[in-house]
Amino acid sequence: MDIGGGTTEVAVISMFAVAYSESVRVAGDEANEAIMRYISGKDRSPSARTWRRVSRFVLVPPSPWKQPLKLEIPGKEILTGFPRTFTVTDEEVREAIQEPVQVIVDSVKRALEKTPPDLAGDLGENGFWLAGGGALLRV
């Protein structure tokens, strides 16, 4: 599975041949837009340069103490227009990208459904590869 910026590619490859492949137009860019809509929907308007920083925020390895991660981002309040710094938690970001991630999960499920039983068994035994920046998400 390759989770890129504009598309996610899911393929089952066996003996140097493609047994199944699918491409969905949901990936990192869609996740960034979902984060932007989520944060802006809470009467906050972060600066444009912070979107990528917020999306990378969920790429941080999980804390062994399971404490919520917080990120301070500059922006302005929509109602007043005054500059302000907002706090965004990793939980909020995960909630924001839930829909795009579900589309990717559904694509993987379709791939597993279409994969012959012997290859599916190999996947269960050996796992699969993730590639692209989106593969670093910890959701």
Distance set, CA 71 to CA 18, 92, 96, 118 (Å): 42, 11, 15, 45
For the stretch 95-132, pLDDT in tens is 888 999 899 999 999 998 998 888 888 888 888 888 88
Q: What is the pLDDT of residue 51?
A: 64
CATH number at residue 96: 3.90.640.10
| Domains of the chain: total | 1
pLDDT for residue 6 is more than 60: yes
Domain range enclosing 77: 2-136
Concatenated DSSP letters for 59-82? Answer: TSPPPTT-PPPEEEEEEEETTT--
